[in-house]
Chains A and B, each alone.
Chain A
Amino acid sequence: MIGVLSYLIFFMILALVFGIAVLGLNLQWGYTGLFNAGVAGFLAIGGYAMAILTGPSREAVFGGFELPFLVGLIGAMGAAGLGGIIIGLVTLRLRGEYLAVATFGIAVTIQLVCLNWEYLTGGTLGLIGIPNPTHELASAPLAQNAIFLAMVVALTALVYWGLQRIVNAPWGRVLKAIREDEIAAESLGKNPALIRLTSFVLGCMLMGLGGALYVAFIGFVSPFDFLPIITFQIWTMLIVGGSANNRGAILGAIVVWAVWTGSGYIISQIVPPEFQAQSGAMQAVLIGLILVLSLLFRPRGLIGEKLHVSRHAKL
């Protein structure tokens, strides 16, 4: 029983940490129509920023400032936001699949930098010993994880509330207008470049927050945490849950993470040991399958978009 509970806590922590990143993608894609295929890159920036700011100092590697957890979170969001500004400015003129290709390439570049810039990132070994703030508050692992979950729930709620306030509002209405018809929006006095960039940067900051929480929870960071498959997973979570709906984004994160971890468990139980290594690929196939099924049979996701944008304009 304790085993199930502790697993559920562990599961929910990771699901919600990804959920925060999905909320960031939802702002970019769901509300603004920005095809960011480089989610992994922004998770990586946030994760490494956390590790560098809060981690222990070590020889021949930059950082290890041992700063407080909260500073790490803010720094991670700031770093991902700064990355978002730079990448956003560079790719401002790109639309649709062109933006997707560019951001995908940038994310791969970021991952390769993480892999090879040993002075900054520790290279293939990554950075270990990242302090988990709950370890000072409780000694039992279950209690530690329960506290971490409470914190992640609170952060998710805060992010959700903050997003709802700004998307169900005139600002969200402009985002949606740009998604729907950018030329009409700019002919009606809206500045698409500024609005697209703002939405992109805010979304990237949330991805950075997700990456930072992930790293603080598992206690280390390595370049292999940020392979392109993670971008694919975050996207699937959004599409399955319901694009342009923040509750859908969180629900999608939980559902898809359940499918991912559940299928991993089942595969480990039924597949003979000599095929275990290859069977991991089945997980990715399964995620692809639910993405396709969702697009075919429930294109609006589990919880779809609402018609009214501003909460002040309900009829």
Chain B
Amino acid sequence: MTEPLLSIRDVHKGFGGFKAVDGISFDVPRGSIAGLIGPNGAGKTTLFNIISGLYSTDSGEVILDGVRLTGKAPHQVFGSGLARTFQIPRPFPAMTVLENLMIVPRPQAGEKFWNNWIRPGAVKAQEEELRAKAEQVLAFCNLTQVAGSEAQNLSGGQHKLLELARILMADPKIILLDEPAAGVNPTLMRDLVDRILELNAQGYTFLIIEHNMDVVMSVCDPIFVMAQGRLLYQGNAAGVRSDASVLDAYLGETI
């Protein structure tokens, strides 16, 4: 087996007396679509927040492609090549969909305010490049027709696509999706799954939190099962289906 792309090593996180993440370790192989499942309150999103730098860890570390992410601020984690979406999407509501995308790549000359005074030509050229790239990504995510809309006017499913589209502006090494299929209608969900599979074929690695077992079982391998802050099981779809502890803690019945 090759060296894993993302490595979670004995991560602990408590809030007061409550241990939200209680010694989690697992590896996400390069090029995989890994699934992270488990009952509500298992600590999945907390783990995402730790990986992406929003939360500090009490102990343990997270390694991405040989680089230690632990201790980095969220914007530095993103710069290291890890991008994530949110369970409840976080678009920039009063900005156009196009600019929700154009803001992402970095470094941008125009993000240094003085460059807009002294190097307007360079800023303009880069903006044109960003715009062309954004239009490609919007087409890939079926969002072209809403490019000029305020992001807050999109539907819930489109918000999920928008979050994925934003990430694709940056070419990250790994993409963390927090419940991409939640609240998404079946056709749009098919769309989303197709995009994920296509991106995976292009070489993107994914780690996905999801409750929709059809999605998880059909696209994710390996699958990690969390319960009460601990790793309950890891394996492939067939193994998850047949493991007694997973059935008991999460699935409840055979599927």
Contact = CB atoms under 8 A, between A and B. Distances in A.
Interface of A: 162, 165-166, 169-171, 173-174, 176-177, 180-181, 183-192, 198, 202, 305, 307-310, 312-313, 315
Nearest to B90: A184
Contacts of B54: 183, 187
Interface string B113-129: 11011001001101110
A174 B96 contact: no
Interface of B: 52, 54, 73-75, 78-79, 83-84, 86, 90-96, 98-99, 102-104, 106, 108-114, 116-117, 120, 123-124, 126-128, 131, 147-148, 150, 166, 170
Given A165-B117, A170-B108, A184-B90, A189 B147 contact: no
Given A170-B116, A307-B95, 13 more contacts: A169-B113, A170-B103, A170-B108, A170-B123, A171-B116, A176-B94, A177-B103, A180-B93, A180-B94, A184-B91, A186-B75, A189-B75, A313-B131
B183 to A, nearest CB: 18
Contacts of A183: 54, 74, 90
A59 B169 CA distance: 64
Given A170-B127, A186-B73, A189-B170, A165 B95 contact: no
A57 to B, nearest CB: 36
Given A166-B113, A313-B127, A308 B99 contact: yes
Contacts of B113: 166, 169, 171, 198, 202
A190 B166 CA distance: 13
B24 to A, nearest CB: 21
Contacts of A189: 75, 78-79, 104, 106, 170
B83 A188 contact: yes
Contacts of B91: 181, 184
14 contacts: A165-B117, A169-B113, A170-B110, A170-B123, A171-B110, A171-B116, A180-B93, A183-B90, A184-B90, A186-B73, A186-B78, A202-B113, A313-B127, A315-B148
Contacts of A184: 86, 90-92
A171 B112 contact: yes
B213 to A, nearest CB: 27
- Main secondary structure, interface of A, reads helix
A177 B207 CA distance: 26
Nearest to B105: A189
- Report, nearest first, the 10 A-B pairs whose CB atoms are least far apart: A170-B110, A312-B127, A184-B90, A315-B148, A189-B78, A180-B92, A186-B74, A166-B113, A171-B113, A169-B116
A171 B119 CA distance: 13
Contacts of A176: 92, 94-95
A173 B111 CA distance: 8
Contacts, number: 118
Among B54, B75, B102, B117, find the residue whose CB has the most chain A CB atoms closer than 10 A.
B75
B110 A310 contact: yes
Contacts of B93: 180-181
Contacts of B108: 170
Contacts of A305: 94
B90 to A, nearest CB: 4
B92 A181 contact: yes
Tell me the dominant secondary structure on chain B's binding face. mixed
Contacts of B170: 188-189
Contact of B150 (A169, A177, A187, A307): A307
B138 to A, nearest CB: 11
A173 B104 contact: no
Contacts of B103: 170, 173-174, 177, 185, 188, 190
Specify which of B111, B117, B166, B170 lies most central, judged by the most chain A CB atoms within 10 Å of its CB.
B111
A198 B110 CA distance: 14
B153 to A, nearest CB: 11
B74 A180 contact: no
A310 B112 contact: no
Contacts of A181: 90-93
Contacts of A173: 95, 99, 102-103
A35 B31 CA distance: 45
B116 A165 contact: yes
B95 A315 contact: no
Nearest to A315: B148
B23 to A, nearest CB: 25
Contacts of A315: 96, 98, 147-148
A187 B84 contact: yes
Nearest to B108: A170
Contacts of A188: 75, 78, 83, 103-104, 166, 170
B123 A313 contact: no
B95 A309 contact: yes
B120 A165 contact: yes
A276 B146 CA distance: 59
Contacts of A174: 103, 111
